[in-house]
Amino acid sequence: GDELVLAVERVMAHADESRRLGVRANADTPEDAARARRFGAQGIGLCRTEHMFLGDRKALVEHLIIAESEQEQEEALSALLPLQRSDFIGILEAMDGLPVTIRLIDPPLHEFLPDYTDLSVQVAMEDDHDRRDSKHHKLLDAVRRLHEQNPMLGLRGVRLGIVIPGLFKMQARAILEATAERKKAGGDPQPEIMIPLVAAVQELELVKADIVQVAAAVEDETGVDLDFKVGTMIELPRAVMAAGEIAEAAEFFSFGTNDLTQMTWGFSRDDVEASFFGRYLEKGIFGVSPFETLDRDGVGQLVRIAVERGRATRPDLHLGVCGEHGGDPDSIHFFDDAGLDYVSCSPFRVPVARLEAGRATSIGELSDSA
Ligand code: PEP
Ligand code: MG
């Protein structure tokens, strides 16, 4: 028992000494954050906040969806603020002293809207008299209005933040209030606010201006100096091409290789396996799913372009990856070679990522000296 543990610890220590890449984890709860830390994660590379709007909180989200005035929208958002603040306090506390990249909400909208058929049934059961003003009726209207043919290409990420600016502002406030509270309690919170699905620097600038304004207000109210970063996901081919400009407004990039793979190949990440995927494998068009192992020739080339253009603008631009590929051994070798600063993966993959990052650096040094 003990000898085995010691041997494993020795191997891990060796990998940690050799590796150049940092290893963070994707975690959305304090429990996952704590687990990631035990596995040796050096921070959180992706905290997905959309999951925080499900479960008990669905009713609050429904208020937001059916809000008919700005005031109603504000009310719905202020009910969510204290819940989000405590979400972030928990995660920042679990990762005290380490960076925590919190991504503002990126829902595929269809996953958050109530089911159309269920709603229709409920509305049909209501008295004629109540129907028009009922919550179900309003929701049904909203679901009709918000229906999209291609939700993954639709009102997601930063687009939602631009259409409902109060939503991102509420989240930024919750993150920054949580940061102030942790600091007051003697902690060392290191939040990084990340904007999803950015295609153009103008989107990032709009959102960033709001965040900066919220931060000034929170500093005023709490008397705490706030240190935080603002950065973006790079997960659309256009963001890759515009990376030089985008880096002017971003302190860090994190590659969302799930979406970048989907958008580059033009395959739906949700449907591909069920439809033609098997044929592609059979015919050798690819040997392994590009959603598992980074497609070096296509998606990988885009990563390299974004690294080069981003660093040309901002030499100290911090670069990571938080798509599934961040925990895939072959892909980790690629990210090391492409010059990223860290990979982020599920907590359970952290030990393997540490080992693989160690091997990647050693192999890289061997081939450099050859
Ligand atoms: C990605 O697209 O790679 C990513 C990390 O974000 P999500 O999977 O949440 O879209
Ligand atoms: Mg994504």
Is the CB of 323 within 6 Å of ligand 1? Answer: yes
The alpha carbons of the chain give a radius of gyration, in whole angstroms, of 22
Q: How far apart are the first and last CA of the chain?
A: 40
Output the pLDDT for position 274.
77
Q: What is the mean pLDDT of the chain?
A: 93
Pick the residue whose CA is nearest to atom 3 on ligand 1: 256
Is the CB of 269 within 6 Å of ligand 1? Answer: no
276-289 pLDDT, tens digit per residue, is 888 988 999 888 99
Neighbours of 159 (CB within 10 A): 17
Output the pLDDT for position 195.
98
Q: Is residue 370 over pLDDT 80? A: no
Phi, psi dihedral angles at 321 (to 5 degrees) = -135, 135
Is the CB of 356 within 6 Å of ligand 1? Answer: no
Identify which ligand lies nearest to the alpha carbon of 325: 1
Output the pLDDT for position 131.
64
Q: Is residue 216 over pLDDT 90? A: yes
Pick the residue whose CA is nearest to atom 4 on ligand 1: 256
Of 113, 136, 95, 100, nearest in space to 53 by CA: 113
pLDDT > 70 in the chain, percent: 98
Rounded to two decimals, the pTM is 0.95
Of 62, 46, 159, 63, nearest in space to 108 by CA: 159
Is the CB of 327 within 6 Å of ligand 1? Answer: no
Residue of 159, 160, 261, 322 best suited for mutating to test ligand 1, as the one with most atoms within 8 Å of CB: 322
Is the CB of 99 within 6 Å of ligand 1? Answer: no
Is the CB of 322 within 6 Å of ligand 1? Answer: yes
Q: Which atom of ligand 1 is nearest to the CA of 257?
A: 3
User: Measured in angstroms, how far is the CA atom of residue 33 from the centroid of ligand 1?
Assistant: 18
